[in-house]
Structure 1
Amino acid sequence: MSIDLTRETKTEQNQQVSEYINKVLSLIEKEEVNKEEAAWITKETVDGFREHVNPGFLTYRKSVTKDGQFAAVEWSDNGACFKDVNGKEYIDCLGGFGIYNVGHRNPKVVKAVTDQLKRQALHSQDLLDPLRAMLAKILADITPGDLKYAFFTNSGTESVEAALKLAKMYSERTTFISTTRAFHGKSLGSLSGTAKGMFRKPFLPLIPGFRHVPFGDIDMIRKTFEVCASVGEDVAAVILEPIQGEGGIILPPENYLKQVRELCDQYGSLLIFDEVQTGMGRTGKMFAAELYDVVPDIICLAKAFGGGVMPAGAIVAREEVFKSWFPNPFMHTTTFGGNPLACAAAIATIGVLIEENLPERALVVGEYFLKELKEAAKGHEDKVLEIRGQGLMIGIEFHKDEIGYEVSKGMFDRGILVAGTLINSKTIRIEPALTIGYEEVDMVISTFKEVLSLVKA
């Protein structure tokens, strides 16, 4: 009897779930939703986060909260903007933490993915998939120096994990040098290189062998190399962001990266550039390594690599390093890395960046953006500590966290999305689509100026 009742209950539950799924799918199908539907979506979103995702997000995202509910539940996007479910448009200067380099839903990237989807979505895992080979060839052509072989991932932290494992296999050394304010991801290996204690402490001990030194301090790196060599803990690799993103958009001192390269060569260590945020044209070159005329042994990519349409990442390495994986290519694998949809998106993304000269455009528009932001901040030196950046990777650092929060909230209320960085909460970032128009840039600047005048120091 109890079994029958359980079956009946299960059948009824499945029916309710099916009805809910059909309602959700019918809303996805719509280009526009009415007020009643928007209200239902908003309520379901807030309740779902509270009851089934993580209620902490409702507190964390307080800068977009209004009267206890979210002012914005995102629903659609295009170009340099997105709309909430109620139809309000926002200029996106957060850019998904830097994933929308070619814009939101770039038509060429969307077309490549949908064309591939019509033929095959995922690969068999056993046969040779063509787009992976073609994308790897393209990366060998466009990456700096003699970087040649690629391994594909789904995210930035996976790219860093792959780079760390490859470095360990190459030399069998186990010591890594990372830097303060670094962010390399949150899976255990990449978290070992990440600097912020708040993210690290709950998961200690992490992967052993990581040493952190101040970013930009070449003397400290030199001393660390010397000490590691003297105690028999030779350095496998130095892992760096050429420009620190989550650390607060921190640019390296002059010649710093070249000197790190020289130290790595001197001690037989690898240099890993984490270009997850700086890559794909963001800084005014296709890769930030080109800005500083330094060729790493391994480069890590993700975020914008999938064109803002597909999750995709990669590492590209020199043949001498990568051949550690030649005898057994299954030493490091991932089921979905390099899948046909992701590869199609990445190929199209690189095509758009090259054809539309977006790295060069990022440099020019970024210089204008930076100059005008600094002009807008004049007279507010008691609030703004520094405005710095390279290309369309700009950070605005305030004297206090509270000022940054109030500025972020004020800009959001006026239709501009910005956000702080994960390591340096006093700094908000400006990382819009590289396709952003000057009219939109001017709107961001005027809004920043207006909000800054209203915020108390």
Structure 2
Amino acid sequence: MDMYDMGNHHLISKPKALLGRMIAASMPQGLNQVVYGVSGGEAVDLAIKLARGITQKEDIISVIGCYHGHTGFALAAGDAKFKEKFKPVPPGFKQVRFNSVEEMEKAVGPNTAAVIIETIPATLGIVTPDRAYLKTVKEICEKNGALLILDEVQTGFGRTGKFWGFENYDVRPDMVVMGKGMSGGIYPISATVYDEAYKNFFMEDPFLHISTYGGSEIGCFAAMRVMEISREKSFLDHVRGLGEHFTRRLGQLGDKYPDLGLKVRGKGLMMGMEFKDETTALFLIKLFFDNGLYVVYSGNDPKVIQFLPVLTISTTEADEILTLVETSLKAMSG
């Protein structure tokens, strides 16, 4: 901070370039065009603007129960409850059920600009995609001249045990949106990454999109350090190992307290605890909090509690968390 401040969107800088190179190196070949923002919603807005600008088409297909942010196009791609009070909603947005290839095939057509999907939708209840789902959606997009945007705001930077969540599903998106863990919580920064095939889109007028504090130099340094740590094989192995540990132990607790209907879902340390009904989950959130464990429910499936441990915790700390979980389950089970 002695050398850099928050930066200026009019000017290039070494930290922006270095971070952009690191992001591009982590992506599939050709996904190397990086535009910075300050929030996931802003990054989603840009992705949708780009998709419409590149394809000259209007329709955006998203998933029922998804969440992409509270800003303009991101809000329009989300569920009705988030946007009903802010009508009129921009036209051209449609939704289908997650994991339904049939519905996706019917929705995507000649006027579709893009399909946008969270790799693992958190607000929907930490629902993992069927093994071939995302790859099939990409094929549907290609057949119709549409783009596939994957929202990695929550699944990126090692959360699933792979650096990018989509690496678990053998799919190459046309755009990737990232944020949240990008700076390890140190500084607000996000990014939209798109294919080099579309690199000329901003050439004629680079000011078609501007983010005043997007790609702040301080944020870039924080994000570079996050990437250095979270791309290490040992780090990702640690995340996968902890995910397996939590899944095994939570499964055992589900068997021990069967009246609660506990089922575990997710990948790596992006996990959800599903209970038999919404009331059980809501009471457990209070018990968890009273016992020193802070969790929230999935907004579009309140019977699922989001379970997202810090990626750097030790196995000892994981066991301490599991003790708090069992104390709460025991009290709820009576």
Alignment of 1:353-432 (within 5 A): 353-355=230-232, 357-432=234-309
Counterparts of 1:401 and 1:161, CA distance in 2: 32
Aligned to 2:324: 447
* 1:214 aligned partner, one-letter code: R
**CA offsets per residue over residues 268-290 of structure 1, 9 Å max, x none?**
11000000000000001000111
Task: Report the aligned-residue RMSD.
Answer: 1.5
2:73 alignment counterpart: 189
The Cα offsets for residues 392-428 of structure 1, whole Å up to 9 and x where unpaired, read as: 0010112222211221221222221111122222211
* Runs of 5+ unmatched residues, structure 2: none
Cα drift, residue 146 of structure 1: 1.9
Q: Does structure 1 residue 199 correspond to structure 2 residue 82?
A: yes
Contact 2:162 2:236 in 1 (8 A): yes
**Aligned runs of 1:272-421 on 2, under 5 Å?**
272-355=149-232, 357-421=234-298
Is the 2:160–2:239 Cα contact (8 Å) retained in structure 1?
A: yes
* Contact 1:282 1:362 (8 Å CA) reproduced: yes
Aligned to 2:13: 129
Q: Which moved more, 1:159-168 or 1:355-364?
A: 355-364
AA matched with 1:434: L
Q: 1:159 aligns with which of 40, 43, 47?
A: 43
Aligned to 1:180: 64
Of 199, 206, 209, 2:92 maps to 209
Retained in 2: the 8 A contact 1:363–1:391?
yes
Residues 85-113 of structure 1 deviation map (CA, whole Å, 9 limit, x = unaligned): xxxxxxxxxxxxxxxxxxxxxxxxxxxxx
Which 4+ stretches in 1 moved above 6 angstroms?
none
TM-score, normalisation: structure 1: 0.71
1:169 to 37, 50, 53: 53
Q: Quote the residue 1:219 is aligned against.
A: 102
Question: Are the equivalent residues in 1 in contact too, given 2:254–2:262 (CA < 8 A)?
Answer: no
- Distance across 2 between alignment mates of 1:333 and 1:438: 43
In structure 2, give the amino acid aligned to 1:161: D
Flag the structure with larger Rg.
Answer: 1
Q: Distance in 2 between matches of 1:373 and 1:133?
A: 43
Cα pair 1:407 1:448 within 8 Å, conserved = no
1:243 equivalenced with 2:120 (yes/no): yes
Q: Is the 8 A contact 1:144 1:290 kept in 2?
A: no
Gaps of 5+ in 1: 1-116
Identity of aligned residues (%): 33
Task: Choose 401-410 or 255-264, whichever is displaced more.
Answer: 401-410
- Structure 1 CA distance, aligned partners of 2:311 and 2:9? 35
Q: Compute the displacement of 1:213 (Å).
A: 0.5
CA distance in 1 between counterparts of 2:55 and 2:232 reads 39
Please give the secondary structure, in 2, of the residue aligned with 1:239: strand
Q: Does 2:148 correspond to 1:271?
A: yes
1:101 corresponds in structure 2 to none
Aligned-residue offset at 1:204: 2.4
1:144 matched to which residue of 2? 28
Cα deviation, residue 385, structure 1? 4.8
Q: Secondary structure at the match of 2:255?
A: coil
Number of equivalenced pairs = 334
